[in-house]
Amino acid sequence: MSVIFSKKCEYGLQAILYLASKKDKQYFSAKEIASDLKIPKEFVSKILQSLVANGIIGSKKGKNGGFYLAKKPNKIKLIDIVEAIDGLDVFKSCVLGFPNCSSDVPCPVHSEWGKLRNMAYEMLSSQTIDRFVEKTLKKLSKL
Amino acid sequence: MSVIFSKKCEYGLQAILYLASKKDKQYFSAKEIASDLKIPKEFVSKILQSLVANGIIGSKKGKNGGFYLAKKPNKIKLIDIVEAIDGLDVFKSCVLGFPNCSSDVPCPVHSEWGKLRNMAYEMLSSQTIDRFVEKTLKKLSKL
DNA sequence: GCAAAACCAGATAATTTAGTCTGAATTAAA
DNA sequence: TTTAATTCAGACTAAATTATCTGGTTTTGC
């Protein structure tokens, strides 16, 4: 096995993109998010709760309540969601799992991997989710 | 949590680089590999066994036995080890965990992520482990 | 031949991640 | 005011990963 992001993070990203791509209503319940994205309701529900705690989304309790983006889509970077859920350790720690990996005491593949890692970080930091609305709608229509 | 490679794969890569960087003896036991790399002996032992099964390294049983590279270092690519242990799914499956992610039915970040993924694959496929011998020796001396 | 050192195979245990369940609090609508 | 739909908190279960243990087999050196 090997993953870039945890399932939590994957589902979190999906859910945020989902919210960003919706305009028709104000609140979207965990139930309909889960059902539209075809992911486990109880699980995504927990993830959404943690994103509320992180201030990326907001929630409204009670009937007809649900979740909504707390910021404008063009103010939410992909990395914000990753950071909120998985943290930024992947972008800091050693690919090979060597302890103490740094430019002073680099692991064997340090310089090669470092470039890739920086590019990934750069991409996730520069792209805001408004950029993905259209593509999300297309993908959603085919789930 | 989020990882690029599993612990198995990290330790496997470390162990292979270790073997590649050694010239003084023919066989290296799981015990000394684990002790030098400061990783769990029983665990790395299991990983080495699976790499033997994959033909990347060989082993010799009995007293003074141990493991050795089955090929020349310049014939072993980083990706070979990753493939043997974790498989190549990370380079094929969707970052966001969307099912059916392809250029026909792409996930929202498909094109952005695809580039990075290809570069990572490209790097791991082009680099052979002989390239890392010196750096490995340096790192080992500081563990 | 025998003991020690090693790999090997399979079972087991511990930890982490993924996912589910229950019940309470909140809100809107009937 | 009652009911249904919701978030939320926390406990719980399941599955995967990581790690350890036990015993067997092979090989070398004494």
Which own/partner pairs from A30-35 qualify as long-range (CB within 8 Å, at least 24 positions apart)? A30/A66, A30/A67, A32/A66, A33/A67
Which helix (H) or strand (E) element contains residue A67? strand A66-69
Residue with tokens 């989020």: B2
The confidence band for A38, taking pLDDT boundaries of 50, 70 and 90, is: very high
> Are B2 and A100 inside 8 Å of each other by CB?
no
Beta bridge partners of A57: A69
Whether A1 is in a domain gets the answer no
Residue B67 phi, psi dihedral angles, 5° rounding? -115, 155
Give the distance from residue B63's alpha carbon to the nearest chain A alpha carbon, in angstroms: 30
Q: How far apart are the two ends of chain A, measured CA to CA in Å?
A: 25
B57-87 pLDDT, tens digit per residue, is 999 999 999 999 999 999 999 999 999 999 9
pLDDT value of residue A42: 97
Sequence-separated (6 or more) residues with CB below 8 Å from residue A138:
none
Asked if residue A10 has pLDDT above 90, the reply is: yes
Gap from A50 CA to D10 C1', Å: 14
Q: Which residues of B fall below an 8 Å CB-CB distance to A?
A: 1-7, 9-11, 13-14, 17, 38, 78, 82, 86-87, 89-90, 95-100, 105-110, 112-113, 116, 119-120, 123, 127, 132, 135-136, 139, 142-143
Which chain B residues are within 8 Å of A34, Cβ to Cβ?
none
Average pLDDT of chain A is: 95
Q: What is the CATH number of the domain that holds A68?
A: 1.10.10.10
Our measurement of the distance from residue B139's CA atom to the centroid of its chain's CA atoms, rounded to an integer in Å, reads 16
A90-130 pLDDT, tens digit per residue, is 999 999 999 999 999 999 999 999 999 999 999 999 999 99
Please check whether residue A17 is in contact with residue A132, taking contact to mean a CB–CB distance below 8 angstroms.
Answer: yes
Whether B29 is in a domain gets the answer yes
Whether B2 is in a domain gets the answer no
Q: Where are the alpha helices (DSSP H) in A23-109?
A: 30-37, 41-53, 78-85
Which residue, among B82, B87, B54, has the nearest Cα to B69 in the 3D structure? B54
Number of domains in chain A: 1
B98-114 pLDDT, tens digit per residue, is 999 999 999 999 999 99
Interval A48-59 mean pLDDT: 97
Please check whether residue A15 is in contact with residue A81, taking contact to mean a CB–CB distance below 8 angstroms.
Answer: no
Q: Which amino acid is at A139?
A: K
Which residue, among A70, A94, A54, A87, has the nearest Cα to A20 in the 3D structure? A70
The boundaries of the domain holding residue A45 are 7-141
Interval A70-78 mean pLDDT: 96
Exposed, middle or buried, B12 (CB in 10 Å: 0-12/13-18/19+)? Answer: buried
Which helix (H) or strand (E) element contains residue B59? strand B57-60
Q: pTM (2 decimals)?
A: 0.93
Asked if residue A2 has pLDDT above 90, the reply is: no
Give the distance from residue B43's alpha carbon to the nearest chain A alpha carbon, in angstroms: 14
Which residue, among B120, B87, B5, has the nearest Cα to A90 in the 3D structure? B5
The confidence band for B143, taking pLDDT boundaries of 50, 70 and 90, is: confident
Average pLDDT of chain B is: 95
